[in-house]
């Protein structure tokens, strides 16, 4: 017990001593540390100088200002680069627009595509009325062949579609009255279109043969009442087969004085030269009657004109380059169309197969856009 009491007294004494030590020493230490820091600040001031620090700060300001100028200059350069890029892009867009209506086709490719080029030039534009008609035999060069006397047909020497000459024997007939056999001869040269007899038949009033000289034929056109006042004999008619495989131009030779009862049409008759026999009786044809004519200073082939982006265009050739040129149209007919603006006389344009050039330009434009 006594030992424990002594240990307690010693612990209390030690604690009291520690308390006194820290309580008395801390203010002095704080004061000492504050004095040391003040002395250190004074030393720094003497070593570096307040003015030098200010100068350094000014130099730092110049550095900052330089950075700012360089940044601004960099921005200007960036902006200038953007303008160059923009200009370049603008040029590219302009090139694309130009590429949109131009293309190049080599001479060999143009020849293979059967592209035909003509010069724009003066032409006569026709005001026409379109009619429908048919080819018929020329009654002035056709003949029906009959027996002179009734009798029995003893021989037939010519057949259908054979060519005969005037005076050539076609058949023989034995007369009922004299019992003599006489020849039936061709009255004109031409082609046998009908043969209505055979050996042993009785020849009477009916034709035995029909012969026609097909070196020329008639085209008969039907004129409706609304057009009768404008169509006259002597006017030229441009005649086309329905498949456009043949065409010819000839004047109206006559207008029949009577109208067809059911349709109230009048027939205009045109004589057509037919040396090769291509115009056949019974064919349907179209006819454009020229009722007026006007000379224009600049015209192109009507088939050369195409539509592109809602405008009429022709394709102008310069070497191997082809350009779609917008044009203003005037009068026109099946063959020629007047150009009022957009093309000058002497300029070369695609007159045939212009759709090939149009397709090539469209393809080039699509690839450029992609």
Task: Kindly write down the DSSP assignment for every residue of 339-354, as one continuous string.
Answer: EEES--TT-EEEEE-H
- Give the pairing type, strands 209-212 and 142-145: antiparallel
Q: What is the mean pLDDT of the chain?
A: 81
Q: Is the pLDDT of residue 67 over 60?
A: no
Evaluate whether 209 touches 163 at the Cβ level (below 8 Å): no
Lowest-pLDDT range, 61-70, 136-145, 170-179, 217-226?
61-70
Which tens digit of pLDDT belongs to each residue from 314-353?
A: 999 999 999 999 999 999 988 899 999 999 999 999 999 9
Q: Is the pLDDT of residue 280 over 50?
A: yes
User: Residue 17: which pLDDT band, with cuts at 50, 70 and 90?
Assistant: low
**Alpha-carbon distances of 221 from 48, 135, 256, 332, rounded to whole Å:** 121, 9, 11, 23
Task: Kindly write down the DSSP assignment for every residue of 195-232, as one continuous string.
Answer: E---TTPEESSS-SEEEE-TTEEEEEEEEPGGGGGG--
Share above pLDDT 70 across residues of the chain, in percent, rounded to a whole number: 71
Burial of 191 (0-12, 13-18, 19+ CB in 10 A): middle
Q: What local confidence, expressed as pLDDT, does residue 88 receive?
A: 34
Evaluate whether 207 touches 194 at the Cβ level (below 8 Å): yes
| Kind plus residue range of the DSSP H or E element containing 13 | helix 2-48
> Of 22-26, 79-83, 146-150, where does the model show the most confidence?
146-150
- Three-class DSSP category at 181: strand
Lowest-pLDDT range, 78-92, 203-217, 343-357?
78-92
Q: Is the pLDDT of residue 121 over 60?
A: yes
**Tokens of residue 160, six digits:** 């259908």
Higher pLDDT, residue 73 or 359: 359
58-70 average pLDDT score: 41
Q: Is the pLDDT of residue 25 over 80?
A: no
User: Residue 262: which pLDDT band, with cuts at 50, 70 and 90?
Assistant: very high
User: Residue 74: which pLDDT band, with cuts at 50, 70 and 90?
Assistant: very low
- Three-class DSSP category at 360: helix
Q: Is the pLDDT of residue 180 over 60?
A: yes
Q: Is the pLDDT of residue 284 over 70?
A: yes
> Which of 197, 326, 218, 307 lies closest to 271, judged by CA?
218
User: Residue 68: which pLDDT band, with cuts at 50, 70 and 90?
Assistant: very low
Higher pLDDT, residue 29 or 142: 142
88/80 Cα distance (integer angstroms): 12
71-84 average pLDDT score: 40
């Amino acid at each position: 017990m006594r030992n424990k009491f002594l240990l307690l007294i010693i612990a209390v004494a030690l604690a009291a001593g520690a308390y006194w030590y820290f309580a008395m020493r801390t203010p002095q230490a704080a004061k000492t540390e504050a004095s040391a820091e003040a002395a250190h600040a004074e030393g720094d001031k003497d070593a570096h100088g307040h003015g030098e620090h200010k100068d350094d700060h000014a130099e730092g300001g110049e550095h900052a200002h330089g950075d700012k100028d360089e940044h601004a200059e960099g921005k200007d350069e960036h902006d200038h680069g953007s303008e160059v890029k923009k200009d370049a892009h603008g040029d590219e867009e302009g090139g694309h627009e130009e590429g949109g209506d131009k293309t190049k086709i080599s001479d060999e490719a143009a020849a293979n595509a059967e592209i035909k080029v003509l010069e724009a030039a003066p032409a006569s534009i026709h005001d026409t009325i379109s009619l429908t008609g048919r080819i018929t035999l020329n009654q002035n060069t056709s003949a029906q062949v009959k027996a002179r006397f009734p009798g029995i047909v003893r021989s037939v020497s010519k057949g259908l579609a054979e060519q005969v000459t005037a005076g050539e024997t076609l058949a023989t007939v034995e007369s009922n009255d004299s019992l003599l056999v006489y020849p039936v001869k061709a009255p004109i040269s031409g082609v046998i279109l009908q043969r209505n007899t055979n050996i042993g038949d009785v020849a009477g009033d009916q034709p035995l043969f029909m012969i026609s000289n097909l070196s020329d034929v008639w085209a008969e056109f039907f004129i409706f009442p609304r057009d009768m006042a404008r169509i006259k004999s002597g006017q030229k008619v441009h005649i086309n087969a329905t498949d456009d495989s043949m065409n010819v131009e000839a004047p109206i030779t006559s207008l029949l004085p009577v109208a067809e009862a059911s349709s109230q049409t009048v027939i205009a008759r045109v004589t057509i030269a037919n040396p090769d026999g291509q115009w056949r009786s019974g064919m349907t044809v179209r006819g454009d009657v020229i009722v007026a004519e006007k000379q224009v200073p600049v015209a192109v082939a009507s088939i050369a004109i195409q539509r592109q982006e809602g405008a009429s265009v022709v394709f102008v050739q310069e070497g191997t380059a082809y350009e779609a040129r917008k044009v203003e149209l005037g009068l026109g007919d099946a063959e020629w169309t007047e150009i009022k603006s957009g093309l000058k006389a002497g300029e070369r344009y695609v007159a045939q197969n212009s759709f090939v050039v149009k397709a090539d330009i469209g393809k080039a434009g699509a690839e450029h856009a992609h």
